[in-house]
Amino acid sequence: MKINTQQFSYEEYASAADLGPADASLLQAAKDAARQAYAPYSRFRVGAALQLANGQRITGANQENASYPVGICAERTALSAASSLYPGVAVETLAVSYDNELGPSQHPITPCGICRQTLAEYQQRFKAPIRLVLGGLSGKVIVIPDAVLLLPLSFSSENMK
């Protein structure tokens, strides 16, 4: 038997004010996008903002549905829009923020499992890492250099060959 260990490092900032201008601006775009969420059931509004390799910025917000499985997360909304508007253009950075109408929004949240899988597929497709900038309306912010770090031992198209 062999025991393997996997770990990763990420940056932690006390607040968005400590970020560089590009990351701070992208995180603010994600906060703004959260206001566009359709979240009448959970009242948990999430916004995502993508910085593309061609310099374009795309935002998305979660869209709920009374039939819960039909909803779509902010990250996948933004990724789908980017893929439709700019096919073949890699995503460099994804910022995610949220507004929990029923509680505090003062710490970072991470993408859900489905979004992590989708991010892994985008990275494989473009052969480039996607940085994550994660924060709430206030409080600390974390920056993860490669989205795949959140989904170790992920399933990919390589498994299907």
Residue 64 known to be catalytic: no
The answer to whether the beta carbons of residues 48 and 75 sit under 8 Å apart is: yes
Calpha distance 151→155 (Å, rounded):
9
Beta bridge partners of 93: 51, 131
Active-site pick, 11, 12, 64, 75? 75
Alpha carbons within 13 A on the beta-carbon side of 127: 0
Task: With residue 51 as reference, give the H or E element that holds it.
Answer: strand 44-52
The answer to whether the beta carbons of residues 112 and 80 sit under 8 Å apart is: no
Residues with catalytic annotation? 75
